[in-house]
Amino acid sequence: MSVLVTGATGFIAQHIVDALLKENYNVIGTARSQAKADNLLASFNSPNLSMEIVSDISDLNAFDDIFKAHANKIKYVLHTASPFHFNTTDYSKDLFIPAKNGTLGILQSIKKYAPQTVERVVVTSSQAATLDFTAPPSSKTVYTEKSWNPANEETKQMNAIMAYCTSKKIAEKAAWDFYNENKSQLKFKLSIVNPVFVFGPQLFDSSVSATLNTSCEVINQVLKTTPKDQLKKDVMGEFIDVRDVARAHLDAFTKEETIEKRLLMNNGLFSEITIGNIINNDFPQYKGKIAPVADDTDLQNDIAPYKCDNSVTKQILGWEFTSLQKSVDDTVAQILKMSK
């Protein structure tokens, strides 16, 4: 039996595919183009990986052909494909519709062609689906696995970042609604993985470029500072390591405890200061060439606009998340290696 991984060429998805292959699963991945598919096949060079082309996930029938061809093989579906960028002003066309239709499309394809053969479905969402970006910042506000972003397509005064966050909520809500409305006709159980900023190395060194994927570019930007620059405390967020996110996806379809659960993948705060300080302290070759060490002693109280309690997720998974220091160090070490 096989695992279908949509968006298999993505940063997180490549780590998921790698973890699956190491566990001897047969993997069917999807990519937007033949060139991307061929590149991934060459990189993995595994007989247990095959690729299918899905050029436009906003087409509700985009996944039909895959299930027509492989319905009797696919036991697990990991849906990671979704737009992740802020370079748009047409939020509906570029974010809301692809995110929602991509999720609904694959669930509808399962219902049409594999209602009794697919056993588990995991959707990659985001902590953005849990946060209320219209609420004033308050350290008394606590978000958990039960929290929901109240924004929708009609929310006014939205910027690109809010629109991306709203797209994740819309897509995840569509998944839960479809699942709850069609439970009686489907065998599969649903789980959701909700990561924050995802740091860590690219799976393949060859993926390192001048500009990295959206999350890791936060680290890369610190490397592009000069000694005259000052690290900023208000350039901040929460992080999780990509290898932990990949591992959580495997747990999400193999553990009974994850059924109908949201896994909030969050290992705490970062700021440009904390990242810069790690790099300055751990990489002497960068010290004196990037922005200098700065004070980050009261990070939680100074910059946290809310608090996250993902204790339920940690209890379900039962393993320690990767530290910010290791995640940053491994990311920077790879960039350094490829810059030589």
Active site residues: 168
The Cα–Cα gap between 70 and 139 comes to 49
The Cα–Cα gap between 259 and 146 comes to 15
- Give just the sign of the alpha carbon dihedral 216, 319, 81, 51: positive
> Using an 8 Å Cβ cutoff, are 30 and 36 in contact?
no
Phi, psi of 109 (to 5 degrees): -65, -40
> Using an 8 Å Cβ cutoff, are 263 and 316 in contact?
yes
Q: Which two tokens stand for residue 132?
A: 């209320």
DSSP state, residue 183: G
What type of residue is 102? G
The Cα–Cα gap between 270 and 235 comes to 9
Is 102 exposed, middle or buried (CB count within 10 Å of its CB: 0-12, 13-18, 19+)? Answer: buried
Phi, psi of 7 (to 5 degrees): 60, 40
